[in-house]
Amino acid sequence: MTKGLLQLDNVSKVFDTVTAVDRISFTLAEGEFLSLLGPSGSGKTTTLQMIAGLTHPSSGAILLGGRPIGPLPPYKRDIGMVFQNYALFPHLTVARNIAFPLEMRRMRRTEIARRVAAVLKLVDLPQFEARYPQQLSGGQQQRVALARAIVFEPKLLLMDEPLGALDKKLREQMQLEIKHLHKRLGVSIIYVTHDQDEALVMSDRIGVFNQGRLEQIGTVEQLYEQPTTRFVAEFVGETNVIRGEVRHGANGCCTLETAEGPLRGRAHHAFTIGSAALISVRPERLRLEAGHALRSDGDGIPGHICEVIYMGRLRKYVLDTQGGQKLIVARQVAGAEAKSFAVGDAVIATFVPEDAVVLQDRHEQGGD
Amino acid sequence: MTGAYPERLWPSLRAAFCLAVIVFLVSPMVIVAIVSFSSAPFLTFPPPGLSLQWYRKLASSSVWLDAIATSATIMVPSATVATAAGTAAAVGLARARIPGAGLIASLIMAPMIVPVIITAAAMLGVFRAWGLQGTRAGLILAHTTLAIPYVVFTVLAALRLVDDRLESAALTLGATRWRAFWRVTFPLILPAVLSGLLFAMVISFDELVVSIFLSSPTVRPVTVQMWSDVRGDVDPTIAAIGTLLLAFSVCALLLETALNRQRTRPLETAGTGPKTGPRTGPRTGPRTGPRTVPRAAR
Amino acid sequence: MNDRGDARAWLVVPAILIVGVLFAYPVSWLLARSVTEPVVGPQNFKQLIETPVYLKALWNTILISGSVTLVCVLLGYPLAYTMAHAGERLRRLLIFVVLIPFWSSILVRTFAWMVLLQQKGLINKTLTDYLGLIDQPLTLIYNRTGVLIGMSHVLLPFMVLPLYSVLTRIEPSLTQAAASLGAPPHRNFLRIYLPLSLPGLVAGGVLVFVIGLGYYITPALLGGPGDTMIAQLIEMQIADFGNWGLAGALAVILLLGTTTTFVFVSRSLIGVR
């Protein structure tokens, strides 16, 4: 097990009867940007608070630089944190806010002033020293909160849904700024969000949370192409999920008997014949052909188009399949003369087995 | 305060200190209650035994019974009129556009802010000229005046929480303005009105300073009777009547607490959302409506 | 807002009439007495300023009220803090306990202290007989001590409730952020929490001070001759001497003191932020 900067080892948090965090383990490398992604209440913020020291884990260990930080109170951990509502001190100016951690570390006045000025320049707010947080816009407050959390050069930065209160355009701009800052400073970041697009844009790796459990952790590509659970498949990106029974499987490939007929997909572990399973195909991996019946080569699902949604870059088709399912197919709008289908058309949705993933059918509802 | 890490010493010190403060706040009244059940013939603590003798003395004393009756006959009309006038004023201030509303509100609230001794002296001077000094009517008028600000304060706070769009909605559904008020707004502010009524009753029953000035040997509320006894020879009868007064207050407070809980619920589920204030943090302060109203100097 | 709410404007009339006729007029009448009785002129104010007894009483009033305010701050802050950070049930219990004195008669409460503070009252008995700490009973009543204890008891809720109201509005994330930035608990409190709680402290303090200025019952029952406050002076002038002019002058001074404190404090509060 690589040591890395931060290590969580079977960390759990139980409140009365509710298990908010259930045996989370992961390692964060130096300089890595890790997002904790999941719906509200899935335990990501609680995990962050335990790392920061604002909450005690009920069990498990947290190690920073190889040493357990459990007994360390939050003011001794040297970890920067950006809160959801920024938590800027309203009675202090921007400069005093940012200077605060440096004053806590008893730095010299001149040194403090220099650093504050430097970090304000870094977040692009050079003239704002004398202002008060209430006088700033949301985006500006965001940046001050960020500046305050990095001014004392922590090795680890925790961010708890910092962009939630901003509007879309501003959010996208801030995402890029944070990403750039990350590259410049080389600090490790753990970033909590419920917005998967945000996580996809910013992260080196993503940990997907669901009901207190860490369902999967990996790069964006790993999560997207090789989800290990239904929740991850549905939460990261969009997908179609079809139930079936395992017919046979070999060499990482598996065939399921479904209401749409036999379907094949990649499988990461061995499934017992006859067990229930799911097959997941992303909308953009489905192709559409006109027609009523299956051809012999390739897997296909016949059906009728019941809805067409034009989205600029994409066209989404909702299909009513013969097996009674609703499928979503997404095709790029390729140009003026490209072929497109209309409501009522009889079509066949096809895909190659490499584009589909077979998952365990856990019978519990994932997500909220 | 900083999260989970318990500062070991501080919480226990603080808890002990707060316990001491609470004891400081409550024990005097508990002691009075205990003394009232004393079996000793004079004021002593702790009492050697328990007995109802002082309450029996109260019940058989025409002086005290008259005093209680006087207090009651003053309290009922004054609390009622104060609640009616105060509620009306609150509705007017909250819903109608009145020129000089700020000034009018200040005027109506003034009895709450001006030190009671001034009010008492002033009323004595003027009421005497009008022949109202020493009369029941005079006391009723005085108590009404003192109670109105508290009713207005309470009902106004509740009205501000009720969305006036509710009445507009009722109007679009065919109600007249009068019916829209009675059927929609009034039920929603009723807990506050009742709170105000309770508070007005307690104010009247407990009122002392103005009553000292405006009462006479024949028209004497309970508090004034207590006042004259307390400065003479003290015996536990006073403790008994004091305990009764306390019981009255505590019951009123309990009622008001129950009402207050009732008050916040229907407004929350109505879906009209919070009407005022910026987005505050996770904890919105508790509603400290009428209870924190400063009872003017005594 | 309503456009045809004019008819409802008349709803304020009963209250205005009652308060106007029965309160505003008498108070104005009384204040006017200060310069019209026994003759027109400022002689009453002159008399007040030139008589040491009166000056001392005025000074006493400010001193006593100020001391009570200080005591209430010291006692009330920890209590309000505990209330603000307590769990739901404890908090409701504490609010109820703080409200009980608020809704009870001041006379009864003061009387309770008379019982407790006497020579042979509970406190002295505990100290001499039960605990054996002292030989002679302490004089706790009919002096400054009694007044301070009694008034602090009565006025404490006026400090706790406004303060509590402000404390609950302090975002918990602020102290959490301070901790994450390296502030140990005592610096966290002094640099972040205390400054943010200041408006509540000031509000409570002003309330206690201003109400204390005009207090009558408690100093009358628990104090000695050297603890006379301005309200007692007013009563004396009217009941004993029938001197309405002087009473009016005292009322003017008391009212001025009350309003200036309010205005002064709200001005400086607005100036700060």
Pick C169's closest partner by Cβ from B89, B117, B285: B285
Query: pLDDT for A83-104, tens place per residue?
Result: 999 999 999 999 999 999 999 9
Nearest to B121 among C97, C113, C238 (CB): C238
Kindly determine whether residue C258 and residue B231, on different chains, have CB atoms separated by under 8 Å: no
Is C24 an interface residue toward B (CB < 8 Å)? yes
Contact A73 B281 (CB under 8 A): no
B178 to chain A, any CB pair closer than 8 A? The answer is no
Q: Where are the domains of chain C?
A: 42-269
Per-residue pLDDT averaged across A325-333, rounded?
Answer: 88
Q: What is the pLDDT of residue C216?
A: 93
- Residue B210 DSSP SS3: helix
Rounded distance, CA A42 to CA A48, Å?
12
Pick among C73, C99, C103 to test the B interface (most B CBs inside 10 A): C103
pLDDT at B75: 96
ipTM for the predicted complex: 0.87
Q: Mutate which of B5, B10, B280, B283 to disrupt the A interface (most A C-beta within 10 Å)?
A: B5
Among all residues of chain C, which has the CA nearest to that of A99?
A: C181
- Both tokens of A120, joined, read 């304000």
- Please indicate if any CB of chain B lies within 8 Å of the CB of C120: yes
CB atoms B4 and A56 under 8 Å: yes
- Is the pLDDT assigned to residue B20 strictly greater than 50? yes
Contacts with B3 from chain A: Cβ below 8 Å: 49, 53-55, 74
C207 touches chain A (CB under 8 A): no
For every residue of C140-196, DSSP letters joined together read: -SSSHHHHHHHHHHHHHHHHHHHHHHHHTTS-HHHHHHHHHTT--HHHHIIIIIHHH
Interface test with C, best of A89, A141, A148 (most C CBs within 10 A): A89
- Contact residues on chain C for A101, CB-CB shorter than 8 A: 181-182
Work out the pLDDT band at B269, boundaries 50, 70, 90.
very low
Show which of residues 58-87 on chain C sit within 8 Å of chain B, judged by CB atoms.
75-76, 78-79, 81-82, 85
The Cα B81–Cα A189 span in angstroms is: 66
Flag whether pLDDT at B272 surpasses 70: no
Integer Cα distance of A177 and A103 in angstroms: 27
**Banded model confidence at residue A297, pLDDT cuts 50, 70, 90:** low
pLDDT at A295: 60
Q: CA–CA separation, A145 vs A131, rounded Å?
A: 14
pLDDT on residue B193: 93
- Look at residue A362 in the predicted model and tell me its pLDDT: 72
Angstrom CA distances, C133 to A99, B44, C114, C139, stand at: 53, 21, 22, 15
On whether any CB of chain A is under 8 Å from the CB of C56, the answer is no
B115 pLDDT more than 80: yes
Residue C80's H or E segment, with its range, is helix C52-85
Residue C52 DSSP SS3: helix
CATH architecture of residue range(s) B69-264: Orthogonal Bundle (1.10)
Q: How far is B30 from chain C (nearest CA, A)?
A: 9
B5 touches chain A (CB under 8 A): yes
Is the Cβ pair C11, B96 closer than 8 Å?
yes
Domain ranges of chain B: 69-264
- Measure in Å the smallest separation between the Cα of B65 and chain C Cα atoms: 18
* Average pLDDT, integer, range B215-223: 93
Nearest CA in chain A to C193: A89
Give percent above pLDDT 90 in chain A: 56
> What Rg value do the Cα atoms of chain B yield, rounded?
23
- Asked if A49 lies within 8 A of B3 by C-beta distance, the reply is yes
User: Closest chain B residue to C162 measured between Cα atoms?
Assistant: B292
Q: C188 near B2, Cβ under 8 Å?
A: yes
In percent, the amount of chain B with pLDDT more than 70 equals: 85
Q: Could A149 and C181 be called an inter-chain contact, meaning their C-beta atoms sit closer than 8 Å?
A: yes
Which positions in chain B touch A85 (Cβ < 8 Å)? 281
Q: Which residues of A touch C178 (CB under 8 A)?
A: 75, 89, 100
Tally the C-alpha atoms within 13 A of residue A76's C-alpha that lie toward its C-beta.
Answer: 8
Contact criterion met (CB < 8 Å) for C105 and B206: yes
CB contact under 8 Å between A54 and B281, yes or no, is no
Cβ neighbours of C182 in A, within 8 Å: 75-76, 78, 101, 104-105, 152
Provide the pLDDT for residue B119.
95
Residue B165: closest C-alpha in chain C: C1
User: Bridge partners of A190?
Assistant: A34, A158
For position A262, what pLDDT does the model report? 86
The model's confidence at residue B291, banded by pLDDT at 50, 70 and 90, is very low
Phi-psi region of C22 (alpha: psi -120 to 50; beta: other; left: phi over 0): alpha
DSSP secondary structure letter of residue A207: E
What is the pLDDT, as a whole number, of residue C6?
Answer: 67
Q: Of C80, C86, C273, C68, whose CA–CA distance to C194 is shortest?
A: C80
- The whole-angstrom separation of Cα A119 and Cα A98 is 9
Closest approach of C67 to chain A, Cα-based (Å): 29
Stretches where chain C sits below pLDDT 50 are 1-2, 272-273
Residues of chain A that touch chain B, judged by Cβ-Cβ distance less than 8 Å: 49, 53-56, 73-75, 85
- Specify the pTM: 0.82
Chains that touch B (3 or more CB pairs under 8 A): A, C
Q: Would you call B296 and C211 a contact, using CB atoms and an 8 Å cutoff?
A: yes
Whether residue C186 lies within 8 A of chain A, CB to CB, comes out as: no
Residue C4's pLDDT is: 53
How far A91 CA lies from chain C's nearest CA (Å)?
7
A62 to chain B: which residues are within 8 Å by CB?
Answer: none
- pLDDT (0 to 100) of residue B78: 96
Q: What's the pLDDT at C29?
A: 93
Mean pLDDT of B134-144: 94
Q: Do A54 and B3 touch (CB under 8 A)?
A: yes
Q: Please give the pLDDT value at position A294.
A: 64
Which pLDDT does position C1 carry in this prediction? Answer: 43
Per-residue pLDDT, B79 = 96
Q: How many residue contacts between A and C have a Cβ separation below 8 Å?
A: 65
Nearest CA in chain C to B111: C23
Class of the CATH domain delimited by C42-269: mainly alpha
Question: Which B-chain residues 279-298 have CB contacts (< 8 A) with chain C?
Answer: 280-286, 288, 291-292, 294-298
Measured in angstroms, the CA of B38 and the nearest CA of chain C are apart by 13
Amino acid at the residue B77: P
Position B276 confidence tier, pLDDT thresholds 50, 70, 90: very low
Encode pLDDT of C2-30 as tens digits: 455 567 788 899 999 999 999 999 999 99
Q: b/e per residue, A52-85, with b = 16+ CB within 10 A?
A: bbbbebeebebbbeeeebeebbbbebbbbbbbbb
Which among C5, C261, C29, C24 is positioned nearest to B149, based on CA atoms? Answer: C24
Q: Which residues of B touch C101 (CB under 8 A)?
A: 25-26, 29
Q: What is the pLDDT of residues B116-132, one digit of tens each?
A: 999 999 999 999 999 99
Residue A16 falls in which region: left (phi positive, over 0), alpha (psi -120 to 50) or beta: left
Query: Does the CB of C15 have a partner CB in chain B at under 8 Å?
Result: yes
pLDDT band at B137 (very low <50, low <70, confident <90, very high): very high
List of chains touching C (3+ CB pairs within 8 A): A, B
A52/C174 touch (CB, cutoff 8 Å), yes or no: no
In a mutational test of the A interface, the residue from C181, C193, C202 whose CB has the highest number of chain A CBs within 10 Å is C181
What's the pLDDT score for residue B264? 55
> What is the mean pLDDT of the segment spanning B165-188?
84
User: pLDDT for A126-163, tens place per residue?
Assistant: 889 999 999 999 889 999 999 999 999 999 999 999 99
Contact A91 C174 (CB under 8 A): no
The letter for the amino acid at C233 is L
CA distance B183 to chain C (A): 16
- Confidence bin at B173 (pLDDT 50/70/90): confident
Q: How confident is the model at residue B4 (pLDDT cuts 50, 70, 90)?
A: very low
Judged by CB atoms closer than 8 Å, whether chains meet at A75 and C182 is answered as yes
A261-266: average pLDDT: 87
Which C-chain residues 118-177 have CB contacts (< 8 A) with chain A? 171, 173-174, 176-177
**Is residue C23 within 8 Å of B110, Cβ to Cβ?**
yes
Instruction: Identify the pLDDT of residue B251.
Output: 92
The overall average pLDDT reported for chain A is 88
What is the average pLDDT across A189-198? 92
